[in-house]
Structure 1
C-alpha cells in the first residue's frame, strides 16, 4: 500500500470495494489505522489555518532600529556582483534546457497536488456542514426543513435554517474550492429562513446573488399520504444529506453526468453519520440508484425513506416547479 493510496483513502476518493478492504485492514492493524488518522489530521490542518497570532509588541520598531545600527561601510549586496559574468552563451543554453525539462516534469505533479488540496478543501467544507447539521439534530427531530405550508421554499435555505440557529458562522464552507471561488459577498445577508424568504419575495435579484453556493441538499421523501417529510435526525441507515450540486439542464437526466463541481469526475457526498465519501458515479446503493434523481427518475423528494435526492440550491423542497 503506497502513500498515494492512503491519501486517496483519507480523502474518500477510493472506490467502494477497495475502500471497504482498507477499512477492514485498518480495523485489524492498529499501526495502519494510526497512519490513516495521522494523514486525516494533516489534511484537516492544511485546510484550516487555525488561530492567528499577533506579532510581539514593538517588533517593527526593534527591526528598524537594528537596520539603522548597521555600519555604513559594510558592503552592499550589489558589491558582490562580478564585473564580468564568467559564463558563455552555450552555458546559459544548457542551463535553460535543464530548467525547462525539470519544469515539464514537475508541472503534472504540481497540478495533481493542487487538485488534491482542492479536493481536501471540499471534503473539509462538507465535514463542517455535517458538524452543523449534527448540532441541529440534537435539538430538532429532523434535519432542516421548512414549515409544512412552505414546501415552495428553496432547498438551499437549509443553510438559512442553520444560520438562524447560530450553527453556520462561516458561509465560506458552502463554496467548493475545486471549481474556483464563488462570489459570496452577498451571502452575509443570510440571517434566517424567514428573512431569506422575505427577500425572495420582495427582491428576487438580491436573493439570487445571496443564494450562490455549490452544495445541494436532500429535502427528504414523500410519505404515502403525499406529504413530504424531512430526513429523521437519527436514521436507521446511511442517507445522503448534502453533496456537490447536480448537473444542470438536460444533463441532469443523464446518469453518466456527475456534478460540475469536480468537472464530471464524481461528487463528494455527506452522509447522515457525518462521513464524507467520494462517488465516482451517481449510484448510491441498491435502494438509491441516483443521488440526484429519485427512483422514479424525477427531480423530486425520494419515493421512500432510503431514496435520497440531492436538490440544487434553488429548487423547492416539495416540487420542481420554478426551477
Structure 2
C-alpha cells in the first residue's frame, strides 16, 4: 500500500485508483497516519530544490561566431569535389547571403546526418539496437515487478483485514445483544455443528451488510470447491431452503464454479434441518467462506460459545488455512493464504494483526489448535481455537 500512497501523494495514479485510495483513507486512520509520514519525508526534497537557470538565448550564435572559419575534412564527404564545405553550396546559392550561422549549422548537420544514416545503418546496427532495448526492458521489469507484486500482496491482505474488521463489528453487536454476552454458538452436534454457522446466525439478525464478502481475494475459492460432488451443489443464485433445489447439470466443470460463492442464497438456521444430506454438507462447507471462526470453549458448566470480554489476545476470527487438516505441531506443512506468508487474525478487542507463518507455531495460544494440541474446541475459557467452515467443535460430532 506504500506505493499507492506515494502515487496518491504525487498525483501519479489513474483517476479510479486515486478515488479508491481516497475512499480507503477516509475510513482508515492508520493509512492517514502513513500518508502524513510520507508527506513529511518528501518535504526536504521540495525545500532543497533549486531551479536551474535556462541558457542565454544568444548562446548558439555566440558559439558559432567563436568557431574558426572552415571545417575539418570529413571522410564521409570526400566524394564532394574534395572540399567538405561544398555540401553547403546549394544553401548559400539559394539564399544569397541571408543565411544565419544557426541555419547554416542546422542544414549542414541535417545533410550530413541523412548521408550518414544511408551509409551506416545496416542489419548489425538494427540487431544491436534491438538487443539494447530488450536489455533495458528486462532491467526495468526486474526493478518494477517486485514492487508491483508487493503492492498487490499488500492490497489483498488489507482487503481481507478490512473484511475481518467488518465481521468483527457484526460479531460484537451480536454478543452485545445476547443475554449471556456470547458470540454466535456452534452446536456440539447436529446440523448446526459447524464453524460457518456464525454467518447464518449473523444474517438471521440482519448484521451482515449486503455488500460484505466472506471470500478473501488471495484465495481462489472456486478451486477449493471444484472437486465437491456436483449433485450436491445448488444452481447459480438458487435458494437453498425448505423447497427442493434444482439439480446441477451433470457436465458442470470447475470453470462453471467461478461465480463467487457468497452470491448463493443461504438458508436460515431453522431451515438447516429441512435440507437433504448433500445440501447440508454444501452449506456447511461454504457458509464461513475463507475465514475461520471459533469452535467454542469448555467452561465449568461444559461446552459453550465464547463470552465477549474484549480480550486483546483471544482470537475470534482469522483467515482460514488452505489445508483441510492440521498437523499436530500446528505449523509444519500448514498451507496459508497470502502466498503462504501468514494470516490476518481478528482478536476480541477488534484488533487485526498479520501473523507470519514462521511465528505461528511460537504463539502462546495457537489460533487453530487448543491447548492440548488438537483441532477442536478450546479446553478453557481463554483457549481460542478457530477452524474453517465445515469443521465441528469435536472430532466425533455428528453433523446431521
Alignment of 1:104-143 (within 5 A): 104-140=142-178, 141-143=181-183
State the SS of the aligned residue for 1:100.
Answer: helix
The Cα of 1:271 is off from its aligned counterpart by: 0.7
Q: Does 1:164 align with 2:204?
A: yes
Query: Quick one: distance in 2 between partners of 1:273 and 1:128?
Result: 13
State the SS of the aligned residue for 1:114.
Answer: helix
Instruction: Please list every run of at least 4 consecutive aligned residues from structure 1 whose deviation after the TM superposition is greater than 6 angstroms.
Output: 85-88
Quote the residue 2:137 is aligned against. 99
Quote the residue 1:50 is aligned against. none
The Cα of 1:245 is off from its aligned counterpart by: 1.3
Question: How many residues get paired?
Answer: 249
Per mean C-alpha deviation after superposition, the further-off stretch among 134-143 and 235-244 is: 235-244
Query: Quick one: distance in 1 between partners of 2:29 and 2:325?
Result: 43
Alignment of 1:1-323 (within 5 A): 36-39=30-33, 89=126, 90-140=128-178, 141-146=181-186, 153-170=193-210, 173-182=213-222, 183-185=259-261, 187-199=263-275, 201=277, 203-204=279-280, 206-207=282-283, 210-211=286-287, 213-225=289-301, 227-235=302-310, 238-246=313-321, 248=323, 251-257=326-332, 258-280=334-356, 281-283=359-361, 286=364, 288=365, 290-319=366-395, 321=397
The Cα of 1:176 is off from its aligned counterpart by: 1.5
The Cα of 1:311 is off from its aligned counterpart by: 1.8
Q: Give yes or no for contact 2:295–2:393 (8 Å, CA) kept in 1.
A: yes
Quote the residue 2:67 is aligned against. none
TM-score, normalised via structure 1 length: 0.65
The Cα of 1:277 is off from its aligned counterpart by: 0.7
TM-score, normalised via structure 2 length: 0.53
C-alpha distance 273-178 of structure 1, shift in aligned 2 (>3 A): same
- Give 1 or 2 for the bigger CA radius of gyration: 2
The Cα of 1:210 is off from its aligned counterpart by: 4.2
Q: Give yes or no for contact 2:192–2:269 (8 Å, CA) kept in 1.
A: no
Q: Give yes or no for contact 1:294–1:309 (8 Å, CA) kept in 2.
A: yes
Query: Quick one: distance in 2 between partners of 1:136 and 1:294?
Result: 24
For 1:89-129, what per-residue CA distance to the aligned partner results, in whole angstroms no more than 9, with x for missing partners?
A: 24344333312221122111111111111111111111111
The Cα of 1:202 is off from its aligned counterpart by: 6.5
| RMSD between superposed Cα atoms in Å | 3.6
Q: Give yes or no for contact 2:329–2:373 (8 Å, CA) kept in 1.
A: no
The Cα of 1:232 is off from its aligned counterpart by: 1.1
For 1:154-204, what per-residue CA distance to the aligned partner results, in whole angstroms no more than 9, with x for missing partners?
A: 111101111111111347531121233545346531242223453364634
Query: Quick one: distance in 1 between partners of 2:185 and 2:351?
Result: 21
